[in-house]
Amino acid sequence: MKIVIILLALACAGLLWMRHDNSNLRASFERANRVAGTQKTTIIMLKNQLNVAAEQSQRKELAQVAMRDKLTTANLLAFRREQTITRLLNENDAFRRWYRDDLPDAVRRLHQRAACTNAAAGDCLQRLPEGQPLPDAGAATR
């Protein structure tokens, strides 16, 4: 009978030890699941960032190619203009003299902005807008 009681006590002790070990394993499993979930979220976020970076890189590369093409076209146009000017200079003596002469004073003054001395009274000269042709000085005003 003593042996049965000792075996029963050992079985109860083993059961308690296994229950304790089971709760420790359950807690470890839950921590591992939380870590795995966090890592999965991080991986998804990093993949999204990688995709965005790849798309931006591709857009920038296409923009660089377009800019290179525009630069090549602009260089070609500049080269052609320079060739035309050189050819005209070689062909035409009057054009050569005109090209080497200084600009007239009236034209030079258009490129300079006079200091504004009385801004409150509206005495400042208005600057001509860029990219628009100059008015014809000889034409009659309406």
The answer to the question of residue 37 being in a domain is yes
56 pLDDT higher than 90: yes
Within-domain flag for 120: no
Helix%, strand%, coil% for the chain, nearest 5: 75, 0, 25
Q: What is the pLDDT of residue 136?
A: 65
Q: Over the stretch 87-107, which tens digit does the pLDDT of each residue have?
A: 887 888 887 788 788 878 777
* pLDDT of 80 higher than 80: yes
Does a structural domain hold residue 3? no
Examine residue 51 and state whether it is found in any structural domain, yes or no: yes
Report yes or no: 48 and 54 within 8 Å, Cβ to Cβ.
Answer: no
Q: Is residue 133 part of a domain?
A: no
| Mean pLDDT of the residues in the chain | 85
| 117 assigned to some structural domain | no
Number of domains in the chain: 1
Residue numbers of the domain that contains 99: 29-110
In a domain, 63, yes or no: yes
Report how far residue 138's alpha carbon sits from residue 54's, in angstroms, rounded to the nearest whole number: 60
Q: Residue 66 domain-assigned? A: yes
pLDDT at 89: 79
Share of the chain above pLDDT 70, in %: 77
Give exposure, 115-138, as e/b (b: 16+ Cβ within 10 Å): eeeeeeeeeeeeeeeeeeeeeeee
Of 14-23, 93-102, 117-126, 129-138, the range with the highest mean pLDDT is 14-23
| The pLDDT of residue 117 | 64
**Per-residue pLDDT at 27:** 96
Amino acid 125: pLDDT: 58
- The contacts of residue 127 (CB under 8 Å, 6+ apart) are 113
Answer whether residue 140 shows pLDDT above 70.
no
pLDDT, position 3: 92
